[in-house]
Amino acid sequence: MEKLTKELVVASLIPDLAKLDWQTLFDTAKKIKVEKEAIGVNYADAMKLRELHGYLRNKQKQDDEPDKARIKARKEGYDSYCKPIEEILAALDPEFHRVNKEIIAEEGDIEAVIAKQNEIRIRHIDFVNDMVKQISAAPDNKDLGRIQSLVGSEKSRTGFYGDYFPNVEASCNDLLKMVDTRKVILKNNAKAQKDFEKAVAKGDMALAAELKELMEQNDRVVKENAQAIAESAYQKVAEISLKISELESASIRPRIKRWSYRVDDIELLYKKNPELVTLEPNAKAIGAVVKEKSKEISEGQELEINGLVIYQKHFYVAIKATDDAA
């Protein structure tokens, strides 16, 4: 039987590696520079090399099985390819973690901006709708004065509305005009009501009918103004150019999600559930609880049990190769 050497093992791998385009994968990975703009492509290239590493290690295990005595030589042969891969991936791994963490933090800031924009838009529409209803139903000038103060306060919230303020200010001005119109109509209706009562008392039903129609017409004007102002507010919000309308994440998605836990109060946990605690958290016992309780928790939520917090831990980039294949 021919003596097995590192050189023979290296040579035996050449056909498979050629099919897998080993040299191209290796050369591409050597040139990887992890950057925010290209992290997805960088990661995909590194994962290809990691998959090749996994293939080689798995093949090595299969070849080792029938002849344990040849393991050392064979390992040296495979190491000729795997060790350089491991060095590249070991160097890239912290870079992927670092850059991915930066991207996630930046995207968190962007999501906060989007949430603020939506909060402002909803607040503005809700405020206008509420004011329109209150103005339309205001029974006297005292109540309209109160509403004017509310609108004035809203106009002063320049810090909250930021870039949206010009649109908000315009809607508030429309509301104030509606208040003035309502005041005039209340005054006119009050006079018309007195004239109506006099006409009825005198038996002048034609005049009474005319006055009643006038008051109803004034009420219709208020309702029409209310609808127009509400529609105007919607339009003003629609005209606002959003800084950011949506976010397409550039970060690397978790390869796996796994339920995990942390102990926030070990003394409380020990007091309430001593079977879950040794001198440190009992990982095996807690793991069983995590497995059972995770069925009751929605994704992204946490469950607190007497100081034990069960949550879903994300595993993001982790491309570093190991001797346990992939």
Q: pLDDT per residue over 15-41, tens digit each?
A: 988 988 889 988 998 998 988 888 888
pLDDT at 326: 45
pTM, full prediction = 0.46
> d(Cα 323, Cα 54) in Å, to the nearest integer?
8
Q: What is the pLDDT confidence band of residue 147, given thresholds at 50, 70 and 90?
A: very high
Q: What is the pLDDT confidence band of residue 87, given thresholds at 50, 70 and 90?
A: very high
Which of 65-69, 169-173, 244-248, 280-284 is predicted least confidently? Answer: 244-248
pLDDT at 145: 92
Which of 24-28, 157-161, 222-226 is predicted least confidently? Answer: 222-226
Q: How far is CA 94 from CA 34, 86, 88, 103, in A?
A: 10, 13, 11, 14
Q: pLDDT per residue over 57-85, tens digit each?
A: 999 888 888 777 777 888 889 999 999 99
Looking at the predicted structure, is the pLDDT value of residue 120 above 90? no
- The answer to whether 85 touches 15, Cβ cutoff 8 Å, is no
Instruction: Render 211-254 in DSSP notation, one character per residue.
Output: HHHHHHHHHHHHHHHHHHHHHHHHHHHHHSPPS-S-----SPPP
Looking at the predicted structure, is the pLDDT value of residue 129 above 50? yes
